[in-house]
Copies of this chain bind each other. A is one copy, B any other.
Amino acid sequence: MGASGPRGPTGTTGPYLAVVGGGDRLLVAQRRQAEAVGAAVAEAGAVLVCGGLGGVMEAACRGAHAAGGLTVGILPGRDRAEANPHVDIAIPTGLGEARNVLVVRSADAVIALAGEFGTLSEIAFALQAGIPVVGLDTWELGRAGTPVPVDPVARAEDPARAVALALELASKARPPR
């Protein structure tokens, strides 16, 4: 990881992007997609935040590491050792799935990949908190039999565009520090 200035690692200055998605074993295409998202986060100088476990989380961290980035894992359990090997900063919370709220609150924008109900909860919490969400092959939201007229999730076509869009939305949502 390249130090980027007098204050130390990337983390000090860049935005924080959460990458959320399923924790189970991935198909090859899903793994490559998550790695590419992680790499794009790192190349943009952003800190990657995630839930710290396997699946999408691990692939995204691996991609970020390969590109020299910094990764933060906010874990459901109490043992730092449950973090995947590509997490730099592991925060064991002991809160169970309530840690999903913290993953989202830590981020300036959320990139949501394919996942299960935990991923859906992270999308919902981000939207509730006014944190932008970019979706890439993830949950669709509808109400009472009809799709939501204006999709609250910004959809992206590929990893590079997902990260670019997340950064753009983050810069609008929060003034730079």
Cβ–Cβ contact A140 & B145, under 8 A: yes
The listed residue with most B CB atoms (<10 A of its CB), out of A1, A116, A125, A138, is A125
For A65, the closest partner residue in chain B by CB is B8
Interface size on A, residues (CB 8 A): 59
Do A8 and B88 form a contact, CB below 8 Å, given A80-B16, A140-B143? yes
Residues of chain B contacted by A37 (CB below 8 angstroms):
none
- So how many copies of this chain end up in the complex? 4
For residues 68 through 122 of chain A, which have their beta carbon under 8 Å from a beta carbon of chain B?
A: 68, 70, 72, 74, 78, 80-81, 85-89, 91-98, 100-102, 105-106, 114, 116-118, 120-121
Residues of chain B contacted by A47 (CB below 8 angstroms):
89
Q: CB < 8 Å: which of B16, B78, B127 contacts A105?
A: B78
Cβ–Cβ contact B97 & A125, under 8 A: yes
Residues of chain B contacted by A89 (CB below 8 angstroms):
11, 47, 70, 72, 89
Cβ-based interface call for A144 (8 A): yes
Cβ-based interface call for A156 (8 A): no
A12 to B91, CA, bound (A): 12
